[in-house]
Amino acid sequence: MTDRIRIVVADDHEVVRSGFAGLLATQPDFEVVGTAGTGVAAVRICDEVRPDVVLMDVRMPEMDGIEATRRLARADGPRIIILTTFDLDEYVYDALTAGASGFLLKDVTAERLFDAVRVIAGGDALLAPAVTRRLISEFASQHRGTAAPAVTRELSSLTPRETQVLRLVAEGLSNAEIAGRLVVTEETVKTHVSRVLAKLGLRDRTQAVVAAYESGLVVPRAGR
């Protein structure tokens, strides 16, 4: 295939690293183009082979996954999925704010892993609704008011409808669900989301959700 998704797996445990790489290699539309055992190696390999997606462990020697994500999460960089053993992990939250597009638990099923890579490669954010929203709600409340000044400033540039769409995205609704809620087409919602990301200078929906909570635009609900 000519349009295979190019993947790098970064984890300091060789068994985990080789296990994920071997699993991904079973898919005809995937190509594992590199593996790394440290954050430094992950950044170097990604600069060399230019993958589409990186599976990134948070805790690695030399450079952790948060800093590696920060260095790779540029406009032309790969999409990053954080691997973790613990869902409510502040390190994962920090990685999301650094530019990761989502996260997976290391005990993820094969099918969930494959779906996640395809979703990320397609340009969407990996917002596993219940777990990711809970993670963001948990830690964003501790970082209220810490959204980047440019993001906070640009929130005022959103139209009322764009602000409404951002609130619904932050609640974890999909484009189809937002379209149903607002009685508009899904294409219209996609346009609003794209404009929100452009105005706020954000890469994807995950960063939009973090910004919505950290700015105080959306407040976590009690017991959520």
Task: Say how far apart CA 166 and CA 189 lie, in whole Å.
Answer: 10
Q: Does residue 166 surpass a pLDDT of 70?
A: yes
The reply to whether 141 falls in a domain is: no
Q: Please check whether residues 10 and 100 belong to one and the same domain.
A: yes
The domain that contains 34 carries what CATH number? 3.40.50.2300
Q: Please check whether residues 160 and 111 belong to one and the same domain.
A: no
The reply to whether 69 falls in a domain is: yes
pLDDT score, position 147: 58
The reply to whether 136 falls in a domain is: no
pLDDT tens-digit profile of 99-125? Answer: 888 888 888 899 989 998 998 888 776
Range of the domain at 40: 5-126
pLDDT score, position 133: 65
pLDDT tens-digit profile of 123-140? Answer: 776 655 455 666 776 776
Q: Does residue 16 surpass a pLDDT of 80?
A: yes
Tell whether pTM > 0.75: yes
The reply to whether 131 falls in a domain is: no
Q: Please check whether residues 27 and 84 belong to one and the same domain.
A: yes
Instruction: Check the CA dihedral 28-34-35-39 and report its sign.
Output: negative
The reply to whether 113 falls in a domain is: yes
Q: Specify whether the CB–CB gap between 218 and 167 falls below 8 A.
A: yes
pLDDT tens-digit profile of 37-63? Answer: 999 999 999 999 999 999 999 889 889
Number of domains in the chain: 2
Helix/strand/coil (H/E/C) assignment for every residue in 95-132 = HHHHCCCEEEECCCCHHHHHHHHHHHHCCCCECCHHHH
The reply to whether 176 falls in a domain is: yes
pLDDT tens-digit profile of 211-221? Answer: 888 888 877 66
E strand or H helix that includes residue 32: strand 30-36
The reply to whether 135 falls in a domain is: no
The reply to whether 73 falls in a domain is: yes
pLDDT score, position 212: 86
Q: Please check whether residues 22 and 118 belong to one and the same domain.
A: yes
The domain that contains 154 carries what CATH number? 1.10.10.10
pLDDT score, position 105: 86
